[in-house]
Structure 1
Amino acid sequence: MNIDHVLEAIPPLSVYLLVGLVVMVESLGIPLPGEIVLVSAALLASSHSGLNPLWIGALASAGAIIGDSIGYLIGKKGGKRLFNWAGRKFPKHFGPQHIANAERMFHKRGMWAVFFGRFVAVLRILAGPLAGSLNMHYPRFLLANALGGIIWAGGTTALIYYLGVVADKWLKGFQWAGLGAALIIGVVVTLVLKKRMSRTHEELPAEKDDAVA
């Protein structure tokens, strides 16, 4: 079966909703592969005439903003008890060291931690709940959250989409190879950026400011 026929059979609305839902759930504090889903959808759009990358980016942005805002409210209500419970359930994401590192970044960087946290896997999950538990001023949180979500979602979608278009053009007639090459390039770029951001996060000094900005 030709891959074009397979891709064309996928309802675009289902892809848009899935991207928005997964990114939203991840952003409110539940470990889900939001970045992988976004990258896959953007790559799919590069070879699927019925998928619009603008809608993928828009739904991912909305999911990020809404999810982080819900996570903020959950963190404000649950506080430390929430992170103690999450640490037992998801030690790889909410272990004591993860929480301590994230808190240091929030105390030092304030709203910038929310913005740049969107580009780091662990902080992407923690940003909303942690900002709420630390009583960050919500308008400042919302501004950083919205800017980070839009730039992360829009930038990732555009990068992967155009990589897919270029790969498909270069490898016309070998569509499976084109998709595979674009996916590998996209994943490598994403991992490199994530590693650099994570390294910066881990190297933050241990000193804390007196209050969140």
Structure 2
Amino acid sequence: MLENFNALVDGLPPSLIYLLIAALVFAEAALFFGFVFPGETAIVVGGVLASQGTLSLPLLLVISVVAAVAGDSVGYEIGRKYGTRLLETRAMSKHRAKVATAQDLIRRRGAFAVFIGRFTALLRALMPALVGSSRLPYPKFLVFNVIGGVAWVCTFTLGGYFAGEAFDHAAKIAGRGLAIGLAVAAVVAIIVWSVRKHRREAVEEAEAESEAEGEAARALEQTSP
């Protein structure tokens, strides 16, 4: 697995790798890029590269936190400026159940929803804009945005860092062949878990939308003469 990471960044200067990671993390909420590419993937890979000495771990953490906070702040401003019109966009209409979940979380938790949403891929892309459209004061949003950004970046970056170190340690003890086999098995397990999770979320979203449509139909019947 680490050999693949090396091939991916072979010839790229560290400054460009930092820039790519920062761009992916920033775009997740600022440009709703999180709908197609979870930002934690970038920082996990960055953590693995830091364990190899390709990147500086402290610098990676700082850059990732700044990108995460800045991206969410842009998402907040988009929501504040466009308000309810944002919900009519194609990106939002495709995920009505998730939008409803995020809005309910904001109503129940207020600014703390920003921290909670940080650890769920789709909510992480939606939450800043929805909080902005709810007119939550920016200072309150910023506090939980920074706390959530620091916690999220440290969790996944350090996870990638220690995973990379564990791989190297296993390779020294058991040999690279066995270590690579274990790494491949771990990757397969993660992929299977991710696919199942995605399918489960799709089913839940479809059920929620079906239930909402049913309630709307029943309400229409009750109001009909």
Category of TM-score, reference length = shorter chain: 0.7 to 0.9
> 8 Å contact 1:167–1:182 — kept in the other structure?
no
Q: TM-score, normalised by structure 2?
A: 0.72
Residue matched to 1:78: 82
Deviation at 1:25, TM superposition (A): 0.8
Deviation at 1:75, TM superposition (A): 0.3
Structure (1 or 2) with the greater helix fraction? 2
Is 2:60 aligned against 1:45?
no
Residue matched to 1:206: none
Q: Percent identity?
A: 34
- Give the 5 Å matches for 1:189-204: none
The separation in 1 between residues aligned to 2:65 and 2:139, in whole angstroms, is 18
Residue matched to 1:184: 187
SS in 2 for 1:27: helix
Deviation at 1:63, TM superposition (A): 0.8
For residues 155-176 of structure 1, what are the alpha-carbon distances to aligned partners after superposition, in whole Å with 9 as ceiling and x for unaligned? 2111210121011111135288
> 8 Å contact 1:164–1:178 — kept in the other structure?
no
AA matched with 1:45: A
**How well do the aligned residues superpose, as a CA RMSD in angstroms?**
3.1
> 8 Å contact 2:92–2:99 — kept in the other structure?
no
* Number of corresponding residues: 188
The separation in 2 between residues aligned to 1:147 and 1:171, in whole angstroms, is 36
AA matched with 2:44: V
- Give the 5 Å matches for 1:1-213: 3=3, 6=7, 9-32=11-34, 33=37, 34-47=39-52, 49-85=53-89, 88-89=90-91, 91-92=93-94, 95-172=95-172, 174=176, 177=180, 180=183, 184=187, 187=190
Task: Give unpaired runs (5+ residues) of structure 2.
Answer: 206-225
The separation in 2 between residues aligned to 1:79 and 1:55, in whole angstroms, is 36
Deviation at 1:179, TM superposition (A): 9.0
Deviation at 1:71, TM superposition (A): 0.8
Deviation at 1:129, TM superposition (A): 0.5
Relative distance call for 1:40 and 1:185 in structure 2 (3 A) is: farther
Deviation at 1:111, TM superposition (A): 1.2
Deviation at 1:83, TM superposition (A): 1.8
Which moved further from structure 2: 134-143 or 153-162?
A: 153-162
The separation in 2 between residues aligned to 1:10 and 1:79, in whole angstroms, is 41
AA matched with 2:187: I
Structure whose alpha-carbon radius of gyration is higher? 2
Task: Give unpaired runs (5+ residues) of structure 1.
Answer: 203-213
Q: TM-score, normalised by structure 1?
A: 0.76
